[in-house]
Homo-oligomer: A and B are copies of this chain.
Amino acid sequence: MLGYAFMGKAHSNAFRKIAYITWPPPLEPRLVGIAGRDEAAVAEAAERYGYEYATDDWRTLVEDERIGLFDNGGPNALHAEPTIAAAEAGKHVICEKPLGRDAEESYEIWKRVAATGVKHLCAFNYRFVPAVRLARELVEAGELGEVRHFRARYLQDWADDVSLDTWRFHADEAGSGALGDLMAHVVDLARFLNGEVEAVMGFTKTFVPGRQVDDAVESAVEFANGSVGTLEATRFAHGRRNALQWELNGTKGSLAFDMERLNELQVFRADGDRARGFKTVLVSEADHPFWQHWWPPGHIIGWGDTFVHELHHMLQAIAGDTDVAPYGATFEDGYRAAEICDAIVASGASAQRERISYRTL
């Protein structure tokens, strides 16, 4: 594990829970080593989460032959080099989103890692929310018909404070602001639920003078399937703590979702029922995605549990040599998300619609 803070905690918790919440687990995770910059902090993290050792040099992990899976939860500037090195050392790799700081770096990571043949997963964990997966299944089954609209926004509210400082505000470490942090999730869910984005018109915005990264992103988009919508992200929406909200409208029905109520999916079916309206579906039934692992209906799960599903999926892919795609995000998905994010930046700069073309290997 690289990183011991927010994502380090989230991933470590998941690795530990997989061993008994999913049963039998596809592989029994063994927590070998954890790396981080602050020696004391990483040592404490190792003790806390049960890693066999701590190191302040991620290369130690890369060189450790006992390690078969390298999980990169470090800051964005530390995604490329360690991830590539680990893959080239033959380890399967997980990398937190955004994959790279821009499309170029993301492409490089994907290309280099794909060349090694290891399994790779870009940790867009919101694909592993049961309500999101259920949505995907409904769309795949054609229950929404032809899609007309997909609109989404990721609203948070913590950044409207000039005195605040974090690596997330430093261009060299983060690459971008709300764009890579929040919009990347929006874009990935848009692709996951509605397919490729073809063109964008939009821009980023920085409200705080002197801040190096964007605070918000606004865009109007066109999808390959002919549907249209808006995609947004901001850290300046007071009262919205973790509100990744999306809505999909099709010819046979609609879906809507809010991450602050992540156990719920709003489902509308144009089925002619006189009692017509959106259902509030509590996604916690025995036949709902991932619920074979959990509790009786209505006993909801938490945000942290999405990582259990995600890392379980990766372990299954490794154990069975199956594909990470399409339910998990691969590094190609990480790269494509970055292309779209970059296109929005480009659109803001050029004041023009940007058509997106994706590179292949």
Tell me the A residues contacting B by CB distance below 8 Å.
6, 10, 12-13, 16-17, 19-21, 23, 48-50, 134, 138, 148-149, 151, 153, 155-158, 160, 201-203, 205, 207, 216, 218-222, 226, 228-230, 232, 234, 236-243, 247, 249-254, 259-262, 264-265, 267-270, 274-282, 284-285, 287-288, 294-305, 347, 351-353
Contact B287 A274, beta carbon cutoff 8 Å: yes
In the bound complex, how far is the Cα of B296 from the Cα of A321, in angstroms? 35
In the bound complex, how far is the Cα of B218 from the Cα of A228, in angstroms? 7
In the bound complex, how far is the Cα of B116 from the Cα of A4, in angstroms? 44
Can you pick out 19 interface pairs between chain A and chain B where the beta carbons lie within 8 Å of each other? A6-B296, A17-B17, A20-B50, A148-B160, A148-B236, A148-B237, A155-B249, A156-B298, A158-B297, A201-B202, A205-B228, A238-B250, A243-B298, A269-B275, A277-B282, A278-B279, A295-B304, A299-B303, A300-B303
Determine how close the nearest CB of chain B comes to the CB of A8; give it in whole angstroms.
11
Instruction: List residues of chain B with CB within 8 A of the CB of A347.
Output: 201
Instruction: List residues of chain B with CB within 8 A of the CB of A251.
Output: 160, 238
Contact B281 A275, beta carbon cutoff 8 Å: yes
Main SS at interface, chain A: mixed
Q: Which of A264, A270, A300 has the most CB of B within 10 A?
A: A300
In the complex, which residue of chain B has the Cβ closest to the Cβ of A280?
A: B277
Contact B6 A295, beta carbon cutoff 8 Å: yes
Contact A20 B12, beta carbon cutoff 8 Å: yes
Q: Contacts A282-B241, A298-B243, A301-B304 known; A151 to B201 CB distance under 8 Å?
A: no
In the bound complex, how far is the Cα of B201 from the Cα of A12, in angstroms? 43
In the bound complex, how far is the Cα of B137 from the Cα of A246, in angstroms? 30
In the complex, which residue of chain B has the Cβ closest to the Cβ of A344?
A: B220
